[in-house]
Amino acid sequence: MGKILLALFIFTSLASYAQDFEPKTYFSDAIEKNIRKYRVNAKRAYIKNDLERAQFLFDSLINHVVKNTYIDNFKVRKFSGRKIELHEFEKPIYLITYATWCTPGIGEIPALNDVVDAYSDEIDFVMLFWGPKKKVRKLKNKMNNKIKILYVDEKENKNDFVIRCMKHTLGFPASFFISSDKKVLDVRRNFLHHYSEEYTKSYNANYQTFTSGVSLLLNKD
């Protein structure tokens, strides 16, 4: 019996050791291998105004290519101007890509602020912004100060493949759910709630969306 238990222990240990040293597939490598076909097909869908087909292609890209890759480390600036690397965040990351020309729903920012208040001890909430810095400041002033606001300087980041993919391929606003070990659990687009909805409906819909993302991150970690 003792020999069987010892053999089982050794097998389990070796399996765990092998898993720890499995080669990681990085987000940038997975996207680069598949992006050309996706862009061609997605462009055709949008030209035909076939939004259902476009969403299907996006979901397929995420489910079959992006999920379970590891997000590359990249460097951008905090709004204060100091450079920061994504991998400096140690908690699970709720990363939202945003641009100053996106129009938030009336309840979107209040819902996000409340979710951040509730879960910021367990999750790093990060917003990655594109657009003129003055306009970013106006949006920043409406947001919970526990949200880490990062700013993409197009001159500095123009050759960064990951940054370009986030903007030109996956689009924004979008949410990236990244575990504490930097695995991409999911990517979701954030345009389900129209900005003209009344406040309560907008708030509730956005709150539900944000807490769904929180559940994904907390259940993983």
Predicted confidence band of residue 10 (pLDDT cuts 50, 70, 90): low
Query: What is the pLDDT of the chain when averaged over all its residues?
Result: 87
Q: Supply 189's token pair.
A: 């687009």
Cα angle 43, 54, 131; round to 5 = 70
Whole-number percent of the chain with pLDDT over 90: 62
Task: Answer yes or no: are the C-beta atoms of 41 and 61 closer than 8 Å.
Answer: no
pLDDT in tens, 49-93: 998 999 999 999 999 999 999 999 999 989 888 999 999 999 999
Q: Which tops the pLDDT comparison, 18 or 40?
A: 40
Q: Does 21 have pLDDT greater than 90? A: no
Coil, strand or helix: which one is 30? helix
Q: Where in the chain is the domain with CATH 3.40.30.10?
A: 74-221
Q: Is the dihedral of CA 97, 129, 163, 122 positive or negative?
A: negative
Q: Supply 110's token pair.
A: 């209040």
Options 3.40.50.261, 3.40.50.10240, 3.40.30.10, 3.50.40.10; CATH of 74-221: 3.40.30.10
pLDDT the model gives residue 16: 46
CA dihedral 94, 99, 103, 104 (to 10 degrees): 20
Q: Supply 209's token pair.
A: 């969306």
Helix or strand (DSSP H, E) at 57: helix 51-61
Coil, strand or helix: which one is 118? helix
What is the SS3 assignment for 11-39?
Answer: HHHHHHHHHHCCCCCEHHHHHHHHHHHHH
Other Cβ atoms within 10 Å of 191 Cβ, number: 13
Calpha distance 22→16 (Å, rounded): 10
Q: Which of 97-106, 118-127, 161-170 has the highest mean pLDDT?
A: 118-127
CB burial string 4-29: b at 16+ within 10 A, e below? eeeeeeeeeeeeeeeeeeeeebbbbe
Q: Give me the mean pLDDT over the 130-136 stretch.
A: 89
Residue 84: what residue type? I
Q: Supply 35's token pair.
A: 């992006």
Calpha distance 191→213 (Å, rounded): 15
Calpha distance 26→183 (Å, rounded): 9
